Every structure is written in structure tokens, then in C-alpha cells.
Amino acid sequence: MKTTAIWILASIFASIAAVLAQINYLIYSIAFGSTSVVILLFSLFVHRLESKKETIKPDLKIELIPTPSFCSSFDSELPNESINIHRTAIILYLKITNVGNAPTEIGEIHVGYESMENDWYWLLNETTLLDDYHMPIGEEKIKVFPFLKQKNYLTENDTNTFLNPGQSRNGVVYFEQNASGGNLYPKIDEEYKVKIKILVHDTKSLKWSIEQKIPKVIINAAREHCPSFGRTLLLAQRIP
């Protein structure tokens, strides 16, 4: 009888010990598992912040509006030329939209063309156009195309190039090539078009580019709508 009682008490204590061991294991598992979950969630949160930081940036979409976007090559009009010296001028009507999620400001704009030497020749400096580029509307009115950065002469225009997300700016940019010889002028295809690349920087050292084709026209046709087209650098060189 006494032995039986001792055996029963031992069994009870063994069962209690087993239960306590299971409870202890459960508590440990929960605590350990919760810590893992916290660490995992924290890691995901930090990764999310880093990813968000990387993706918060401007993104400029460049569109080329066909009119007036063209180029022209012409005699440089420099005196005492011993060889054939020419210039090329390019006018581009751009729409630039900030499709990113951070504000920015349009910076330098460059244009390159495929030359007769089958290489890319870049015009890195925008040039001031000395007249507005305009086209007639009907018999009595004209349309003046706004500049992107410089002030128009015949009408008011907004030259603010700061772009919040979703904002866009339309405007004309103009380039003149220094007097050049040889084959440093645009190569034309069978449709009398020139392959160009447009490179737009912002003030945060980011850049975007597109490749397009523009028509090449004779200089007299260009000067019907802008008398000083192609003459900015020439006149600057004549200033004493």
C-alpha cells in the first residue's frame, strides 16, 4: 500500500514536471518566435525605407513637337574664306514633363546629329535666337512659339523651368554650330531628314535622352519665319 502511494506520487510529480517542461518550451518558443517576427518586420521596414528613398527622384519625359523642329546648313558668311566654311543651326520645340515623384529643375540641354562622317557631332551650348520664331495664322495673325529659357520679344512667356511632379513645360531651344569645314554637317536620309539625339540634364546631375529625326530645310525657308535664324554667332563675331 505504501509502495503504491509512493508510485502514484512519483507519477504525479513526473506528469507535473513534463507539463512544466512543455509550458517552458512553449514560452521559449513564443518569445523566440516573436523576436524573429520583430526582427523580420524591422528588416522589411528598413528595406522599404531604402527602396522608397531610391525611388523618390525626378524623371523627365522628353517629347519633340514637330513644328518648329528642324535644322539647316548654310554658308557662314565669313569674309576671306579660302575654303568652304559653313554653319548648322538647329531649332527644337520641346515638351518636358516630370513624370517622377520628386521636383527638379531643367538644366543644360544638348543636341547631337549624325554627321556626314557617320559620327555624332554635339552642340553643347544653347544659343540665343535674336528673333521670335513665328508662323502666320490666316491672313492677319501670327503664332509666336514660346522659348523654353529665354524671353520672347513679341509676347510674354514663362521661363520658369522648375518642375514639380506632374508638371510640364513647352518651349523652343536653339543651337548654332561654330563655322566649320569639311563634312561637319548633318547627314540626311532619303526623306531629307536628320537623325538627332536630345540630351536633357537637370540641376541634380541627372540626365535623360531621346533619339528622333527632324527635317533639314534651306536657310531661306527658315528665315521666312525668323529673319535672324543662323546669324547669332556671326553677329557676335562682328562685335568689336
Percentage of the chain beyond pLDDT 90 is 66
Q: Mind listing the pLDDT tens digit for each residue in 91-133?
A: 999 999 999 999 999 999 999 999 999 999 999 999 999 999 9
Entry pTM: 0.77
* Residues 48 and 64 both lie in one domain: no
Residue 58 near residue 204, CB atoms below 8 Å: yes
23 — alpha (psi -120 to 50), left (phi > 0) or beta? alpha
* Residues 19 and 102 both lie in one domain: no
* Residues 75 and 134 both lie in one domain: yes
Segment among 13-17, 75-79, 176-180 with least mean pLDDT: 13-17
Domain boundary pick from 30, 55, 80? 55
* Residues 70 and 158 both lie in one domain: yes
Q: What pLDDT score does 140 carry?
A: 86
Domain that holds residue 29: 1-55
* Residues 33 and 151 both lie in one domain: no
Domain boundary pick from 38, 55, 72? 55
* Residues 127 and 177 both lie in one domain: yes
* Residues 25 and 132 both lie in one domain: no
CA angle, 185 as apex, 181 and 190 as ends, to 5°?
A: 140
Tell me: pLDDT of 54 over 90.
no
* Residues 90 and 29 both lie in one domain: no
Segment among 20-24, 106-110, 214-218 with least mean pLDDT: 20-24
* Residues 111 and 229 both lie in one domain: yes
* Residues 98 and 24 both lie in one domain: no
Beta partners for residue 178, in sequence order: none
* Residues 87 and 119 both lie in one domain: yes
Model confidence at 220, pLDDT cuts 50, 70, 90, reads: very high
